[in-house]
Structure 1
Amino acid sequence: DDQGCGWRNPDGVGGFRMTGDVDGESKFGEFPWVVTVLKISKEKKLLYYNGAGSLIHPAVVLTGAQVVTEDDLSVRAGEWDSKTTKEPLKHQQRNVQSVIVHKNYQKRNMWYAVALLELASPFKMEPHVGVVCLSPAGIRPPSGTHCLAAGWGKTSFNTQQYQNILKKVEVPVMSRKSCQTALRTTRLGGHFKLHRCFTCAGGVHGVDTCKGDGGAPLVCPLPDEQDRYIQTGIVSWGIGCGQNGIPGVYMDVSFLRPWIDMQMRNMGYDDSTYTY
């Protein structure tokens, strides 16, 4: 089904109604591009949850550099409720073959915290497994745009116990200027400068923008197409999220797009899968 990137399933997939909008839970297959990045422990062959990511090509995942560890990694697509296999369509899992982390990544301040994971074999596109569109270079959604972050919460992705159902949270885009001003009221202090690799969203009192995990995508609606989304951010960091107007900070995909395109070409792919 080659209908292009970025299609959300607002009513879910497969007529699966185990839950409605309970506590910000997504519906099964609502965000087909959201994947989990798992760490494979050598001794026990257990899987631990490292973070989230997004599918930008059937064989390539976009995520945060902080999600990448020295361990062997595996990626799961089409996951929704990690506690059950009763989902109408099964998840798919692929091992990571190669990892590209931005050469300017700085762990201390999270500059350029972006990575691409190339999979050993591509995911099969299904109603609940799909590719997201990416922001074009230099084009950001206007501030106030209502966007969505989705993720699983920061608990261990062990055999049994992990935050089970994919959560979603709606956050408004905040201008860089307002964001920098807000962040200067935190422990970052009055001289804090927001690096141009970042973009901000959230800051609505009581809305927890930390539900999205490291590496999880922030997506915004395409203005002229209902239910179609572009990824504008990658969850990076937040300070006391959901408190007193402090926004969440994301990697700015429009700033990183030229780097992403270049790495894709180096791997022998092109940008057609995530370009709308």
Structure 2
Amino acid sequence: MFHAGRTMFKMPPVVSHILVLVLFSAFCAALTDTCGQTDNLPDPSKQCCGIDLSDDHRETSGDAALNQFPWLALIEHSAGRITCTGVLISSRHVLTAAQCLYHAPKNVRLGEFNKTNSGPDCLHINGKKKCTGGALTIPIGSVIAHPEFARPNFHGHDIAIIKLAERVPYNEFIRPICLPSSDITALPPDGLRLINAGWGSGPKSTHEDDVVKHYVELPYVPLKRCQEIYRSKLNQLASKIGDTHICAGGEKDLDSCRGDGGGPLMSEQNGRYSLEGIVSFGPVPCGREGVPSVYTRVYSYLPWIQSVTTS
């Protein structure tokens, strides 16, 4: 619907459909021209990061749309085994948890929806069939864990950067997320909810639930409150939580879980997503009421991320 003064004009369906295709083609062309393959981190003020093209509106938690969260990455180890998630931050770099480097990852898989399907993934949306182009598997060139990360005590500085062996092209199903341009924990809005997405096993999921990309909205928990909760319920971990962490969750059966390690904790504003945290640790079993999970706070590591990706 278009508005001109008080007169409303309804566009014919065919014209409307053509306009959508034209706008989408223009968007993709602009994406290719201005957001081409580069090692540089995208500017959050541009249209090159943090935007998905999903028009398949869904609930606040559940299966994601095919083209939703196109920065999600699967980290493959030997024989295609997947144990962690990552987040594309440039056409050459994937951010993940340092603990995910334990098993010497070999490849990163991007543009995935159903991780057990070797070809394009398809869904019927509003009576129309929509398909991906199939996942893209890229060899890993090098990995760099934060220098202060220590195994087996992985509760601090749990962050790492994977440099891909080659740059990946951006499209509807593969593109980077924005890194935060400000500290969301400084003045968090009332009722702030953050988003975790990936292929991990939820608190009540079955194997069939884990094969497709899904997401969950989680309440933000201030750091001091998070420390108090862990002190009273998981005392052995309370001292591990500090200023380089961000907490979210605590609602029964809603949580990041096994297989989500290294995955994103995201904020969303006006359709643009920013990477606020990286899945690090939480209660066992996950989804425990009253106990949030703990994420590496990405904002704390922006200088390190910048130095690694530009070296």
Provide TM-score, normalisation by structure 1.
0.82
Match of 1:7 among 28, 43, 51: 51
1:209 is aligned to 256
Q: Is the 8 A contact 1:238 1:249 kept in 2?
A: yes
Unaligned runs of 5+ in 2: 1-30, 36-46, 122-130
1:129 is aligned to 2:174:
yes
Encode CA deviations 1:146-172: one digit per residue, 9 max, x unaligned.
1110111259xxxx9993101100011
1:249 is aligned to 294
Name the one with the larger helix percent: 2
The within-5 A match list for 1:29-108 is 29-39=67-77, 41=78, 46-84=79-117, 85-87=119-121, 88=131, 89-107=133-151, 108=153
Counterpart residue type for residue 198 of structure 2: G
Local SS of the residue matching 2:106? strand
1:220 is aligned to 267
Encode CA deviations 1:174-223: one digit per residue, 9 max, x unaligned.
1101111111122325963622221101112332332670000111013x
Q: Is the 8 A contact 1:149 1:212 kept in 2?
A: no
Residues 22 and 136 of structure 1: CA distance in aligned 2, closer, same or farther (over 3 Å):
closer
Q: CA deviation at 1:238?
A: 0.6
2:22 is aligned to none
Local SS of the residue matching 2:66? coil
Residues 190 and 47 of structure 1: CA distance in aligned 2, closer, same or farther (over 3 Å):
closer
2:12 is aligned to none
Q: Is the 8 A contact 1:168 1:212 kept in 2?
A: no
Encode CA deviations 1:92-116: one digit per residue, 9 max, x unaligned.
1100001110010023142101000
Unaligned runs of 5+ in 1: 267-276
Encode CA deviations 1:22-66: one digit per residue, 9 max, x unaligned.
971111120000000101x2xxxx200020010000010000001
Q: Is the 8 A contact 2:230 2:238 kept in 1?
A: no
* Paired residues, number: 248
Encode CA deviations 1:111-155: one digit per residue, 9 max, x unaligned.
101000000101110101000001136453716311110111259
Local SS of the residue matching 2:210? coil
- Distance of 1:94 and 1:190 partners within structure 2: 36
1:147 is aligned to 194
Q: Which has the larger radius of gyration?
A: 2
Local SS of the residue matching 2:147? coil
Q: Is the 8 A contact 1:175 1:200 kept in 2?
A: yes
User: How big is the alpha-carbon RMSD for the aligned residues of Structure 1 and Structure 2?
Assistant: 2.6
Counterpart residue type for residue 110 of structure 2: A
Q: Is the 8 A contact 2:231 2:237 kept in 1?
A: yes
- Distance of 1:232 and 1:53 partners within structure 2: 13
Q: Is the 8 A contact 2:251 2:287 kept in 1?
A: yes
- Distance of 1:193 and 1:47 partners within structure 2: 32
Local SS of the residue matching 2:108? strand
Provide TM-score, normalisation by structure 2.
0.73
Residues 25 and 134 of structure 1: CA distance in aligned 2, closer, same or farther (over 3 Å):
same
